[in-house]
Structure formats: structure tokens, C-alpha cells
Structure 1
Amino acid sequence: MKINKDLDVKIQEFPEDLSYLARLLLNEIELGKRSNSQIEDIIREEIRELVLEEIDK
């Protein structure tokens, strides 16, 4: 799909942590196995981990 290729190019421009998170979310959305609330939980957990990592630096 052209959209996925375009998104992939844009995601590659993200900082490493955001790129990982974006790929994870796109994969979950494409698989369609998780509910919106489960995907939101994944986002919250990843953000929490990123924030904690930054605080520890």
C-alpha cells in the first residue's frame, strides 16, 4: 500500500523511541486483534517508560 510506504518513510524520520512506538502501534492496528482501549493502554505504558527513562538521565 502506498499509504503504508509513505508512513514508513515518515516514521523513519522520527527519533528512535518515537519510531519504535509508531511501528508498534501501526502493527497492532493492522493486525486488528486489539481493541481501542488495549491500544491506548499500550500507548500509555510506552509513554510512561519513556518519561521514566528521561527522568533517570
Structure 2
Amino acid sequence: MNINKDIEKKIKLFPGELSDVARILLQELEAGRRSNASIEELIRDEIRELVLEEEVK
């Protein structure tokens, strides 16, 4: 699908770990392994972790 190729290109531009997280989430969505609520929770947890790591620096 062209949409997925476009999304992959954009994901590659994300900095560091954010790119990895986005790729994993996209795979989870495509496979239907997680609910929207579960994915939202995972995103919040990852953002929280990234913010805490930045505060420690």
C-alpha cells in the first residue's frame, strides 16, 4: 500500500528511539494484535519514558 510506504518514509525521519517505537506500533496496528486503547497506553508510556530520560540529562 502506498500509504504504508509514505508512513514508513516519515517514520524513518523520526529521531532515535521514537522511530523504533513508531515502527513497532505500526506493525501492531497492521496485525490487529492490540486494541486502540492498548496502543494509546503504550504511546503514553513511551512518551513518559522519553520525557523522563530527557529530564535526567
TM bin, normalised by shorter chain, reads 0.7 to 0.9
2: CA distance between counterparts of 1:34 and 1:11? 20
Count of residues paired in the alignment: 57
**1:54 counterpart residue number:** 54
Q: Percent identity?
A: 61
2: CA distance between counterparts of 1:38 and 1:31? 14
C-alpha RMSD of matched pairs (Å)? 1.1
| TM-score normalised to structure 1 length | 0.85
- Return 5+ residue gaps in structure 1 as ranges: none
- Return 5+ residue gaps in structure 2 as ranges: none
After superposing on structure 2, the runs of 4+ consecutive aligned residues of structure 1 that deviate more than 6 Å are: none
| TM-score normalised to structure 2 length | 0.85
Q: Which has the higher contact order (CA 8 A, sep 6+)?
A: 1
